[in-house]
């Protein structure tokens, strides 16, 4: 039976700088990056889709067409007559990147407005992936709607994966940030935090402290990403191999999530899944942008 995997969140229009002061238009977004890589890695073994909202404009159409061409499932995508996709622009200063966002009127902010539509999109899913950005863009009421839908999906057999992916400026206050990211954990089976985020916003002194805090919150499976440092997880510790030829760190954590989750849903133990996540992340690190070229992925899995 083909697995159904869902990623909930906000795909965005990306404007990335190229030579001559010009920009290249593409599409990205944390949970979308993860879903896209899972779809490429798993191929016909899974039906991977986004649960989101798009507009009815030509850019939303182009994104939907690209999703379909790359093998993603569109059944969880709702079209909005009044809003469009959010947009961000990448600014480079040497190799350092900063981001400028236009997402206040994004259709994806309303992805959880209709409980019945949301529940249908998540029905019969084996795995549901979301992030702190998913929660941050929703209204408090919509967050509760999402939590209720996750609870129903989980009761029906879905596993919930969560990357806190903390972006402080998306939250109304540090308190709301911490309270919401703690509240969602009661619905989570697999947590994929990054130690630098958790240290900055929750005061964790070490990756082991992050691991212990998520376990204490009731999450059974925890994987603490730590850049080039070792990955601490519920089954132990896995060293991170050095990566030569790093060109761009954008999307590396999203790719790790994809490799890890794809390995877990196909039956790999945690240590092997961490290594699969590291391998996919390394491919992304060696290429510009948040998603690896298909040629690099096919060479890796070929």
Give the CATH number of the domain where residue 212 resides.
3.40.1190.20
- Yes or no: say if 112 and 78 are a contact pair by the CB < 8 Å rule: no
Predicted confidence band at 111 (pLDDT cuts at 50, 70, 90)? very high
Give the residue with greater pLDDT, 69 vs 285: 69
Q: Are 192 and 7 in contact (CB under 8 A)?
A: no
Instruction: Please state, rounded to an integer, the average pLDDT across all residues of the chain.
Output: 93
Q: For 280-297, what is each residue's pLDDT tens digit? A: 998 888 877 778 778 777
Q: What is the pLDDT of residue 171?
A: 96
Supply angle C-alpha 47, 48, 52, rounded to 5: 130
Structure tokens at 4: 């159904």
Q: Tell me if 59 is assigned to some domain.
A: no
pLDDT confidence of residue 300: 63
Secondary-structure breakdown of the chain: helix, strand, coil percentages, each rounded to the nearest 5: 45, 25, 30
Quote the DSSP letter at residue 73.
Answer: B
| CB of 179 closer than 8 Å to CB of 164 | no
In a domain, 275, yes or no: yes
pLDDT for 19 equals 84
Domain count of the fold of the chain: 1
Report if residue 186 sits inside a domain. yes
**pLDDT of res. 94:** 65
Bridge partners of 99? Answer: 90
Q: How far apart are CA 149 and CA 118, in angstroms?
A: 7
Rounded-to-integer distance, Cα 278 and Cα 133, Å: 22
* Spatial distance between the Cα atoms of 13 and 151, rounded to a whole number of angstroms: 31
CA–CA gap between residue 181 and residue 166 (Å, rounded): 9
**Could you say which DSSP state residue 44 is in?**
G
| Predicted pLDDT at 20 | 87
Asked whether the CA dihedral 230, 299, 74, 85 is positive or negative, the reply is: positive
Alpha helices in 123-170 (DSSP H): 132-136, 140-155
Residue 249 in this model has a pLDDT that exceeds 60: yes
**CA 42 to CA 216: how far, in whole Å?**
32
Q: What's residue 93's pLDDT?
A: 74
Contact 142, 112 (CB under 8 A): yes
75 is a domain residue: no
**227's torsion region: left (phi>0), alpha (psi -120 to 50) or beta?**
left
Per the structure block, which two tokens stand in for 225?
Answer: 């990403």
Which own/partner pairs from 214-219 qualify as long-range (CB within 8 Å, at least 24 positions apart)? 214/185, 217/182, 217/185, 217/186, 218/185, 218/186, 219/185, 219/188, 219/189, 219/190, 219/191
* Within-domain flag for 237: yes
> Residue 181: pLDDT band by 50, 70, 90 thresholds?
very high
- Alpha carbon distances (Å) from 185 to 161, 193, 196, 301: 10, 12, 19, 33
Active site residues: 254
Tokens of 278: 């590291």
Query: Would you state the pLDDT for residue 38?
Result: 97
Residue 17 lies in a domain: no
C-alpha closest to that of 89 among 77, 79, 98, 80: 98
Task: Please determine, for residue 55, whether its predicted confidence score (pLDDT) is greater than 70.
Answer: yes
The range of the structural domain enclosing residue 142 comes to: 3-10+31-52+110-301
For the entire predicted model, the pTM comes to 0.95
Written as six digits, the tokens of 209 are 């402290």
Q: How many CA atoms lie within 13 A of 275 on its CB side?
A: 8
pLDDT grade, residue 113 (50/70/90)?
very high
**Residue 240: per-residue pLDDT:** 87
> Does 82 fall in a domain?
no
């Amino acid at each position: 039976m083909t697995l159904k995997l869902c990623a909930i969140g906000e795909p965005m229009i990306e404007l990335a700088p190229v030579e001559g002061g010009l920009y290249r238009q593409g599409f990205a977004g944390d949970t979308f990056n993860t879903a896209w890589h899972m779809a490429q890695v798993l191929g016909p073994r899974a039906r991977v889709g986004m649960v989101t909202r798009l507009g009815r404009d030509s850019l939303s159409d182009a994104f939907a067409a690209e999703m379909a061409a790359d093998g993603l499932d569109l059944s969880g995508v709702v079209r909005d007559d009044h809003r469009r996709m959010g947009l961000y622009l990448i600014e480079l200063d040497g190799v350092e990147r900063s981001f400028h966002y236009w997402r206040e009127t994004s259709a994806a902010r309303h992805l959880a407005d209709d409980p019945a539509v949301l529940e249908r999109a998540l029905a019969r899913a084996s795995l549901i992936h979301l992030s702190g950005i998913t929660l941050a863009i929703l209204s408090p009421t919509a967050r509760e709607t999402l939590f209720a839908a996750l609870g129903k999906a989980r009761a029906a057999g879905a596993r919930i994966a969560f990357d806190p992916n903390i972006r402080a400026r998306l939250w109304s206050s540090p308190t709301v940030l911490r309270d919401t990211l703690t509240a969602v954990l009661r619905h989570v089976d697999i947590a994929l935090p990054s130690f630098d985020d958790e240290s900055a916003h929750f005061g964790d002194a070490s990756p082991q402290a992050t691991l212990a805090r998520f376990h204490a919150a009731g999450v059974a499976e925890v994987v603490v990403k730590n850049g080039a440092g070792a990955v601490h997880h519920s089954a132990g510790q896995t060293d991170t191999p050095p990566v030569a030829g790093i060109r761009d760190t954008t999307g590396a954590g999203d790719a790790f999530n994809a490799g890890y989750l794809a390995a877990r849903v196909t039956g790999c133990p945690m240590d092997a899944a961490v290594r699969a996540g590291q391998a996919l992340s390394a491919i992304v690190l060696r290429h510009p942008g948040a998603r690896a070229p298909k040629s690099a992925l096919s060479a890796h899995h070929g």
